[in-house]
Amino acid sequence: MGSPVRSVLVAGDGIVGWSAAAALRRKLPQLSVRVIPLEPPPDALADHMPGALPSIVEFQHDLGLTEADTVLRAGSALRLGTRFEGWAAGHDDYVHAYGEYGRPFGTASFHHHWIRAARGGEAAPFDAHSAAAVIGRAGRFALPDGPPDSPLANFTAGLAIHPPRYRELMRAYARHLGAVEQPGEIAAVELDETGAIAGLRLADGGVARADLYVDCTGPRALLRSKMDEDFEDWGRWLACDRLAFAEDAPPAELPTLDRATAAGAGWRFEIASAARATRGIVYSSAHADERAREGLGAPVKLRQGRRARAWRRNCIAIGDAAVAVEPLEWTNLHLAHSAIDRMIAMLPDTDFAEVELAEYNRQAGAEADRVRDFLALHYLVADRPEPFWREAAMVEPPASLAHTLSLFRERGRLPFYEEETFARDSWLAVLLGQGVLPRRTDPLIEVVPPGVSRETMARLRESIAAIVPRLSDQAAFLRQMAGQGAR
């Protein structure tokens, strides 16, 4: 066993770097934490994209931040999910909200009842059974509330942040917690004879050293890439390699769902925080007409995939330095938060034993691979006529996704995987939303007659619909939140 880690050097001046610094100081106050403020490049999406999954709220709470800080002061907005338009021909748009779709009844999960009804041609849209989706479509907002059997009890909200202001908040908070900013440019990363980082030679001639180096510098991974460049490329399944976006003033009425609209060779997004609206396009440069990005900023190149081992010796890559994916489903910042939490929970000693790092890399790798599967799913089960989409639908999926898809297509079953980011209902929202109907229904529901299923589903939809008119819109909700904060 080595001596404990006492000092950490974080490289990165974006949301990810400062979040890592804040979390380290908050949970391990015995550590000295310094941050070298290297500006994140445009392809460090976790530092630049506005969408955040509900896990951001938990991450903030763990740090001791309140919604007054992260929403009101940082100009964020609350979001219940994403509305997908045009992904599958012949199917209406659908909502992927972060919550329960339907309620289990009888002897099997809800979706089997829905599938039976759909096969009989008489199902209401799947997302009509999700309170969060219905509330989002109506432009309203609510926080989960009520007893566990209420449709309002079982969903969570994510955020639409304004990245510059959110970064400013996190930087101020990290410094408040005792993280120290050490301005400088890295001239060279020096490795010792074992291949570990010996120190960072700075442009001013000084050398910065620490027990642990946390690389939050985006896909280029300025530190971690000096040790090896082993990278698993996901371009086969996630063929979009360009991102362009622009910002506008926020809309008068802040939506609680953002939009992801399929386009000729990729997809467009629209999302708004209280501070700024962002619209953009993610596309394949091999297929797209350059006019697709008219009115948007300079295109950013993406290379999707993950580092084979995020953590090696005394250097850990976090955020896009470890996993680089397009912003579909807004997983970039989520993966960064998850990596920060996991790093702290599994922090080894300065001997950085291989057995401990291997366990970190196993978990982080499994998590990233299932995120890859979930994103690739959107393309594999899409149905559009353009060459980009036809090619995407014909790709052989990764083995774990092939396993999921074959079991679902056959009998509506979703096999269990460890380290899954998205809940079963999220998978169902996309699969059923894009029209993947299993060949068989689950025999376990047959003890419930179809008429009883239909009535139960109808009652659930009615109870959800009845809630909506009582709810306020986002602006009113934020005003109310501000009022409570002021009291």
Partner 1 sequence: MPDAGERLNVVVVGGGTAGWMTAAALAKLLPTRCNVHLVESEAIGIVGVGEATLPHIRAFNERLGIPEPEFMSRTRATFKLGIEFRHWGARGDSYIHPFGTFGTGQGEVDFHQYWLRCVHEGVPVLPLQELSTACTIARLNRFALPAADPARLDSTFAYAYQFDANRFAPYLRALAEGLGAKRTEGRIVDVHRNGETGDIEWVQLEDGQRIEGDLFVDCSGFVSLLIGRALGEPFQDWSKWLPCDRAVALPCRTETAVTPYTSAIAMDWGWRWRIPLQHRTGNGYVYSSAFVDDDTVTRALTEAIEGEPIAQPRILRFLAGRRERSWVNNCVAIGLAAGFLEPLESTSIYLIQQAITALLELFPERKISPLDRDEFNRIVDLEYDRVRDFLILHYHATTRSDTPFWDYVRTMEIPDSLAEKMELFRRRGRIVKYREGAFLDASWIAVYLGQRVMPQGHDPRADVPPVDQLARGINALHGEIRAVVERMPDHVAHIARYCPMAEAA
Neighbours of 28 (CB within 10 A): 15
Q: Count residues near partner 1 (CB under 8 A).
A: 38
Q: Kindly tell me which of 62 and 473 has the beta carbon lying closer to partner 1.
A: 62
Are 461 and 129 in contact by the 8 Å Cβ rule? The answer is yes
Q: How far is the CB of 28 from partner 1 (least distance, A)?
A: 6
CA 484 → CA 5, 67, 166, 178, 479, distances in Å?
42, 11, 22, 29, 9
- The strand pairing partners of 213, in sequence order, are 9, 315
Q: How far is the CB of 424 from partner 1 (least distance, A)?
A: 12
203 is a contact residue toward partner 1 (CB under 8 A): no
Q: Kindly tell me which of 320 and 442 has the beta carbon lying closer to partner 1.
A: 442
Give backbone dihedrals phi and psi of 262, rounded to 5 degrees, phi first: -65, 140
Exactly one of 91, 220, 226, 413 binds partner 1 (CB under 8 A); that residue is 413
168 is a contact residue toward partner 1 (CB under 8 A): no
446 is a contact residue toward partner 1 (CB under 8 A): yes
Element (H or E) spanning 423, and its range?
none
Q: How far is the CB of 372 from partner 1 (least distance, A)?
A: 20
Q: Kindly tell me which of 251 and 415 has the beta carbon lying closer to partner 1.
A: 415
Q: Kindly tell me which of 259 and 413 has the beta carbon lying closer to partner 1.
A: 413
Burial of 117 (0-12, 13-18, 19+ CB in 10 A): middle
Q: How far apart are CA 405 and CA 397, in angstroms?
A: 9
484 is a contact residue toward partner 1 (CB under 8 A): no
Q: How far apart are CA 67 and CA 72, in angstroms?
A: 7
17 is a contact residue toward partner 1 (CB under 8 A): no
441 is a contact residue toward partner 1 (CB under 8 A): yes
Q: How far apart are CA 339 and CA 39, in angstroms?
A: 20
| Contact pattern from residue 107 through residue 136 relative to partner 1, giving x for each residue in contact according to CB under 8 A and a dash for the rest | x--------x--x-----------------
Q: How far apart are CA 379 and CA 381, in angstroms?
A: 6
- The strand pairing partners of 10, in sequence order, are 35, 214
454 is a contact residue toward partner 1 (CB under 8 A): no
Neighbours of 463 (CB within 10 A): 14
387 is a contact residue toward partner 1 (CB under 8 A): no
Q: How far is the CB of 24 from partner 1 (least distance, A)?
A: 10
Rule CB under 8 A: which of 19-58 touch partner 1? 27-30
- The strand pairing partners of 301, in sequence order, are 242
Exactly one of 226, 411, 454, 461 binds partner 1 (CB under 8 A); that residue is 411
**Could you give the count of Cα atoms lying within 13 Å of 315 in the half-sphere of its Cβ?**
29
Q: Kindly tell me which of 165 and 403 has the beta carbon lying closer to partner 1.
A: 403
- The strand pairing partners of 34, in sequence order, are 9, 180
Q: How far is the CB of 347 from partner 1 (least distance, A)?
A: 5
Q: How far is the CB of 441 from partner 1 (least distance, A)?
A: 5
Q: How far apart are CA 434 and CA 94, in angstroms?
A: 8
Rg (CA), the chain: 23
437 is a contact residue toward partner 1 (CB under 8 A): no
CA 154, chain centre distance (Å): 19
CA 116 → CA 110, 321, 352, distances in Å?
10, 44, 53
Are 302 and 243 in contact by the 8 Å Cβ rule? The answer is yes
Q: Kindly tell me which of 110 and 141 has the beta carbon lying closer to partner 1.
A: 110
396 is a contact residue toward partner 1 (CB under 8 A): no
402 is a contact residue toward partner 1 (CB under 8 A): no
Among the listed ranges 37-45, 391-399, 408-416, 464-472, the one in contact with partner 1 (CB under 8 A) is 408-416
Give backbone dihedrals phi and psi of 74, rounded to 5 degrees, phi first: -95, 5
Q: How far apart are CA 332 and CA 367, in angstroms?
A: 12
348 is a contact residue toward partner 1 (CB under 8 A): yes
Exactly one of 416, 451, 469, 487 binds partner 1 (CB under 8 A); that residue is 416
- The strand pairing partners of 243, in sequence order, are 282, 300
Q: Kindly tell me which of 85 and 446 has the beta carbon lying closer to partner 1.
A: 446
85 is a contact residue toward partner 1 (CB under 8 A): no
Exactly one of 359, 383, 391, 473 binds partner 1 (CB under 8 A); that residue is 359
Exactly one of 4, 146, 183, 387 binds partner 1 (CB under 8 A); that residue is 4
410 is a contact residue toward partner 1 (CB under 8 A): yes
Exactly one of 32, 41, 42, 62 binds partner 1 (CB under 8 A); that residue is 62
Element (H or E) spanning 111, and its range?
helix 110-119
Element (H or E) spanning 374, and its range?
helix 354-380
Residue numbers at the binding site for partner 1 (CB under 8 A): 1, 4-5, 27-30, 62, 107, 116, 119, 344-349, 353, 355-356, 358-359, 406-407, 410-411, 413, 415-416, 418, 439-444, 446-447
